[in-house]
Amino acid sequence: MNRLYMKQKVFSLSERFTIKDQNETDKYFVEGSFFKIPKTFTIKDANETKVALVTKKMFSFLPKFFVEVGGEEELMIQKEFAFFKARYRIEGKNISVRGDWWDKHFDVLSRDQVIGHVNEKWFTWGDTYEIDVEDESFEQIMIALVVAIDFVKQEASRSANNQR
């Protein structure tokens, strides 16, 4: 099992952050497109080689993302309409997400087998996720999934703050 840590800075205009391993070594870099349409997140390994791309669909009632790993489209992630609990529909690789009411902790499954756990830390400066990857062949997909879900949560939070 690999444990990774994804921490975003609160006031980062560059939209670039690092994913570290349990030894606090940089393992991946995530770079968001700043003021670019469509919104994309490029995931690179420690050698700065692109390993995945997360692209937000422009015109969609609910947030929808396409995930490419190794240059091939692997997943489509879409937030589903729900009143009390955020739910996500994922197409590809037989992946599903199962989580708690606040979406701070969730499991990622493939064919009903847990391939990873995600735990968002409370009371931290910026968003901090602890990602446990049970099946290493899904590591980059797990990272892309967390990036997409985190972006949806940030947009929802911004929208709620703007309505106040």
Global pTM reads 0.85
At residue 11 the predicted structure's pLDDT band, cuts being 50, 70 and 90, is: very low
SS3 163: helix
The more confident residue out of 76 and 125 is 76
Computed over every residue of the chain, the mean pLDDT equals 85
Cα gap 43→40, rounded to integer Å: 10
- For 64: left if phi > 0, alpha if psi spans -120 to 50, otherwise beta; the answer is beta
Q: What is the pLDDT of residue 25?
A: 95
**How open is the CA angle 67-26-140, to the nearest 5 degrees?**
20
Q: What is the pLDDT of residue 53?
A: 95
**Over 70: is that where the pLDDT of 123 sits?**
no
Burial class of residue 21 (count of CB atoms within 10 Å of its CB; 0-12, 13-18, 19+): middle
- Phi first, then psi, for residue 36 (nearest 5°) are -115, 145
Q: Which CATH superfamily groups domain 2-163?
A: LURP1-related (2.40.160.200)
Domain boundaries, the chain: 2-163
> Mind listing the pLDDT tens digit for each residue in 127-146?
789 999 999 999 999 999 99
Q: What is the pLDDT of residue 9?
A: 57
Tell me if the bond preceding 38 is cis, omega within 30° of 0. yes
**Over 70: is that where the pLDDT of 124 sits?**
no
Task: Please state, in angstroms and as integers, the Cα–Cα distance from residue 49 to each residue in 46, 54, 106, 152, following that order.
Answer: 7, 15, 28, 26
Q: What is the pLDDT of residue 100?
A: 75
Structure tokens at 73: 């489209």
